[in-house]
Amino acid sequence: MTGALPGAPAGADVRLDPVTLAAEPAGQTSTAQAQASLPRGVADWVYLPVEVPAGVARLHVRYRYDRPDVPDGDLGNACDVGLFDERGTALCGPGFRGWSGGARTEFFVAADDATPGYVPGPVNPGRWAVLLGPYHEAPAGLTVDVEVTATFGPTGAAARSPSYPPVAVAGRGAGWYRGDCHLHTVHSDGKRTPEQMAAEARSAGLDFIVSSEHNTTSAHRAWAGAAGDDLLIGLGEEVTTRNGHWLALGTEPEAWIDWRYRAIDARFDEFAALVHRHGGIVAAAHPYAPCLGCRFKFGYEQADAIEVWNGPWTLDDEVALHTWDNLLVAAAAEPDRRRWVPAMGNSDAHAFDDRVGLAQTVVQAEELSVTALQAGIVSGRSWLAESSQVSLQLRAETSGAVAEIGERLGAPADAPVLVRLEVAGVPHAVLSLWTDQGQVYTARLDAAGTGRLEWPTSSAASSYVRAEVRHPHSDDPGRTGAQPMAAMTNPIWLG
Buried b (16+ CB within 10 A) or exposed e, 57-77: bbbbbbbebeeeeeeeeeeeb
Which residues, in sequence order, are CB contacts of 453 under 8 Å at separation 6+? 420, 421, 431, 433, 441, 443
Give residue 2's pLDDT. 33
Provide the 10 A C-beta neighbour count for residue 155: 17
Provide the whole-model pTM: 0.95
Q: Which residues pair with 134 in a beta bridge?
A: 79
Residues 218, 223, 225, 226, CA torsion sign: positive
Q: What are 403's strand-pairing partners?
A: 396
User: How confident is the model at residue 411, as a pLDDT?
Assistant: 87
Nearest-angstrom CA–CA distance, 424 and 447:
11
CATH code of the domain occupying 161-388: 3.20.20.140
Q: Pick one of 3.55.40.10, 3.30.70.360, 3.40.190.10, 2.60.40.10 as the CATH number of 390-495.
A: 2.60.40.10
- What does each of the 495 residues of the chain score in pLDDT, given as a tens digit? 333 343 334 446 899 999 999 999 999 999 999 999 999 999 999 999 999 999 999 999 999 999 999 999 999 999 999 999 999 999 999 999 999 999 999 999 999 999 999 999 999 999 999 999 999 999 999 999 999 999 999 987 766 789 999 999 999 999 999 999 999 999 999 999 999 999 999 999 999 999 999 999 999 999 999 999 999 999 999 999 999 999 999 999 999 999 999 999 999 999 999 999 999 999 999 999 999 999 999 999 999 999 999 999 999 999 999 999 999 999 998 866 568 999 999 999 999 999 999 999 999 999 999 999 999 999 999 999 999 999 999 999 999 899 999 999 998 999 999 999 999 999 999 999 999 999 999 999 999 999 999 999 999 999 999 999 999 977 655 554 578 999 999 999 998
Q: With beta carbons less than 8 A apart as the criterion, state whether 37 and 141 touch.
A: yes
Is 13-152's fold the same as 390-495's? no
Per DSSP, what are the bridge partners of residue 432? Answer: 442, 468
> Topology of 13-152 in CATH?
Jelly Rolls (2.60.120)
CB 79 within 8 A of CB 70: no
Domain parsing of the chain, residue ranges = 13-152, 161-388, 390-495
pLDDT value at position 13?
87
Q: In this structure, what DSSP letter does residue 312 have?
A: S
293, 285 Cβ separation under 8 angstroms:
no
Ramachandran class of 398: left when φ > 0, alpha when ψ lies in -120 to 50, beta otherwise:
beta
